[in-house]
A and B are shown apart, each in its own frame.
Chain A
């Protein structure tokens, strides 16, 4: 089966610009997660979708971040306007059932650099 795919793999933008990251989960996986890793720190939870619904968005840093999953398939994460501290690697993961019953499958991540 195809794995979780993320696009783009890298993005370099200037402070104040907008960037949209995309994640295509494994087909049939209802659960989709966004995580972020800043250099040397933990993989930090951002939010969790079950199908098209936001199950938990407690990790979203602020209202400059907007995640959507229209139709319950792929998801986008938009950062507008981007700030320097938004730099990091953004990972998407999907699982067939909830986290207890099935493992997370990660994408390769999008490395975002805000200059």
Chain B
């Protein structure tokens, strides 16, 4: 079925350290993987995305890696800052149905 698994559900890291969130997906035909950040009381917003023709993409302190063989992808945040505290959602485009399926979210807390 259409499924995206996301781990961990909560993550607490010291300010300045790195945070990694991992996701797996079920549809081997998926070719687009966005990541959304939702701050408290606000709307989910796209922070980075990756398409299946590349294995890694970086944007300043945020990077995403994709392993199509293993059907998993990860979000890496380096040099974490207090404003990185939020819920992060991974997602995958299920090409057979052209819809975005989301993971269950990771609540990231940055300790000062």
- The reply to whether B104 and A42 form a contact with Cβ atoms under 8 Å apart is yes
Out of A3, A41, A45, A103, name the residue touching B101 (CB < 8 Å): A45
Tell me whether B89 is interfacial, beta carbon within 8 Å.
Answer: yes
| Contact indicator per residue, chain B 18-54, by CB within 8 Å of chain A (1) or not (0) | 0000000000000110101000001111100101000
Nearest A-chain residue to B91, judged by Cβ = A43
Give the chain A neighbours of B102 by CB distance below 8 A. 35, 42-45
* Interface-side segment among B55-63, B78-86, B92-100: B92-100
Nearest CB in chain B: distance from A64 CB, A:
21
Out of B4, B98, B103, name the residue touching A99 (CB < 8 Å): B98
Q: Which of B1-29 contact A (CB under 8 A)?
A: 4, 6, 9
- The reply to whether A99 and B100 form a contact with Cβ atoms under 8 Å apart is yes
- The reply to whether A104 and B46 form a contact with Cβ atoms under 8 Å apart is yes
Q: How many residues of A contact B (CB 8 A)?
A: 25
With A and B bound together, what is the CA distance between A33 and B99 in angstroms?
9
* Interface-side segment among A22-30, A80-88, A105-113: A105-113
- The reply to whether B104 and A104 form a contact with Cβ atoms under 8 Å apart is no
A100-B95, A100-B98 are known contacts; what are 20 more A-B pairs with Cβ within 8 Å?
Answer: A33-B99, A35-B102, A40-B105, A41-B105, A42-B6, A43-B91, A43-B105, A44-B102, A48-B99, A55-B98, A91-B44, A98-B98, A99-B93, A99-B99, A99-B100, A100-B51, A104-B34, A104-B100, A106-B43, A106-B45
Mostly, the A contact residues are: loop
Out of B9, B89, B93, name the residue touching A43 (CB < 8 Å): B89
With A and B bound together, what is the CA distance between A74 and B45 in angstroms?
21
Nearest A-chain residue to B104, judged by Cβ = A42
Tell me whether A62 is interfacial, beta carbon within 8 Å.
Answer: no
Give the chain A neighbours of B101 by CB distance below 8 A. 42, 45
